[in-house]
Amino acid sequence: MIWTMKQEIAKPLMRRANTIARTSTEEALRPPREDSRHSQEEYRVEIVNDVSEFLSLGDAWNRLAKKFQSPLLSHEWFAACARAFCPPTKLSVIVVRTAYEIIAAAPLALVHADGIERLELLGASLLREPCGFIYRDEESLQRLLSAIHAIRKPMVVGRLSLNSLESLSLKERMRLPFVFTLKEPSWAPSITIASSWEEFEKGISASRRSSLRRARRHAEEFGKVEFEITAPKEADVDNHLEEIFRVEAAGWKERNGTSMQSIQELKRFFSLYAHIAACQGILRTCYMRINGNAVAAQLAVEYAERFWTFKIGYDEAFARCSPGTLLMHEAIRSAFDRRLKSFEFLGNDEPWIRIWTDNIYSFITYRIYPWTIDGSLALGQDMSIRLLRRFKAWQKRMNARSAEHHPH
């Protein structure tokens, strides 16, 4: 955990906050003056609170999002988020537009937690996938950030690509004299496809290749092994989802309460998004079957010549043959055979994924607290949670050491 304080906390806090807000806000948040072909454009800022109004932005949104080459920034992704996660009146999408087009947008929503209202990227707290803003250029991004800061709400922005323009711009704005931030790093693995499958597979260590072959032999002891990667038609999506939900619920995620079956909002989101993705022809479902029954499954999309895995699961009754690992191996093989550009694991960097790659993308989450009543309360709440987690981790280490020195 990295956390930084950009200003010594003054006393009394709120008196200083109000003084700063009156004297500094307008100048501090003004976008930099640039000689730009766009600098003389008239623009306006809109806050979209209604889901139906947001749904109407689809074409204009995707024209701008296209250059980012990520399904996680498409209008379809956020539309499913808005419908699955966002209560009425809590949508707060900030749009900067000219007379002709959207030039920047932040897909935000107001979220209540323990009596405190915060802004966060749509769906971020449940999906925990890389995210961000969309914008035409640096000038339009600065206008967007100015509009966000003017709301003066505590905010969670993550997971932004560490070296992206929005991440670097937010970092600069954290130097303003009335903002306190916490930063949280995270990582996600990726494979760049730049060779044949045969060459890539030779690069996997001999011991790991041996483990994969051994797992395949164990699987064949259960029965006939088959792998299936499909692009479902929209009419067949519900049947595929039912099978994927069942497989995922047969593992540890169900026990932990994190499966799609356990969290109805997640189930609704992926149902909505899968139907949209199937209509676009980008949805992919992957299965490992033993005697015709799915024992491992993946939900994914193929977008911008890349394979993006959203959900993976396996039936723990077959854990001895590592079905999730075997299916992942075949899904990667398929991406190479189709000559895609990359295979995106998404999620977090996990040791078992290192079988195939050491290449990881770095992300950063910003927790931003303006010097307001809500900002101060949110900061106190989050710091308390962090201190409690650190205390529990310390307590766990102490208990482990005590057990080592006093064995039963």
What is the CATH classification number for the domain harbouring 45?
3.40.630.30
Strand (E) or helix (H) holding 396: helix 373-405
The reported pLDDT for the residue numbered 384 is 80
Residue 135 lies in a domain: yes
Task: Say yes or no: 169 and 223 in one domain.
Answer: no
DSSP 8-state class, residue 69:
-
Task: Say yes or no: 181 and 270 in one domain.
Answer: no
Task: Say yes or no: 112 and 236 in one domain.
Answer: no
Task: Say yes or no: 298 and 256 in one domain.
Answer: yes
Task: Say yes or no: 113 and 155 in one domain.
Answer: yes
The reported pLDDT for the residue numbered 11 is 33
Residue 53 lies in a domain: yes
Residue 346 lies in a domain: no
Residue 348 lies in a domain: no
Task: Say yes or no: 229 and 256 in one domain.
Answer: yes
DSSP string, 229-261: EE---GGGHHHHHHHHHHHHHTSHHHHHT-STT
**Domain region containing 159:** 2-186+366-399
Q: How far is CA 343 from CA 94, 118, 142, 193, 248, in A?
A: 31, 34, 32, 7, 21
Count of domains observed in the chain: 2
DSSP string, 43-67: -EEEEE--HHHHHTTHHHHHHHHGG
DSSP string, 158-199: EEEETTSHHHHHHHHHTTSTTEEEEEEEEEEEEEE--S-HHH
Q: For residue 215, give the nearest of 298, 309, 327 by alpha carbon.
A: 327
Task: Say yes or no: 177 and 201 in one domain.
Answer: no
Task: Say yes or no: 178 and 326 in one domain.
Answer: no
- Long-range contacts (CB closer than 8 Å, 24 or more residues apart) made by 119-122: 119/92, 119/148, 119/151, 119/153, 119/154, 119/155, 119/156, 120/155, 120/156, 120/157, 121/156, 121/157, 121/158, 122/78, 122/81, 122/82, 122/85, 122/86, 122/91, 122/93
Residue 345 lies in a domain: no
Q: How far apart are CA 227 and CA 236, in angstroms?
A: 19
Task: Say yes or no: 209 and 88 in one domain.
Answer: no
Residue 347 lies in a domain: no
Q: How far apart are CA 62 and CA 101, in angstroms?
A: 11
List the Cα angle 233/238/243 in 5-degree steps.
Answer: 110
What would the two tokens of residue 311 be? 């959900």
What would the two tokens of residue 236 be? 């067949």
Task: Say yes or no: 311 and 388 in one domain.
Answer: no
The reported pLDDT for the residue numbered 401 is 72
Task: Say yes or no: 35 and 159 in one domain.
Answer: yes
Residue 354 lies in a domain: no
Residue 97 DSSP SS3: strand
Q: How far apart are CA 86 and CA 178, in angstroms?
A: 29
Token look-up 């730009």 returns 36
- Going from the first residue of the chain to its last (408 residues), give the mean pLDDT of each consecutive group of 10, the final group possibly shorter: 30 35 34 49 92 95 97 98 89 95 96 83 92 96 93 89 90 69 88 97 95 97 98 98 96 90 95 98 98 98 98 96 98 98 95 94 90 80 78 77 61
Tally the C-alpha atoms within 13 A of residue 372's C-alpha that lie toward its C-beta. Answer: 17
The reported pLDDT for the residue numbered 406 is 57
DSSP 8-state class, residue 352:
G
Residue 349 lies in a domain: no
What would the two tokens of residue 103 be? 């030039």
Task: Say yes or no: 158 and 204 in one domain.
Answer: no
What would the two tokens of residue 383 be? 């710091």
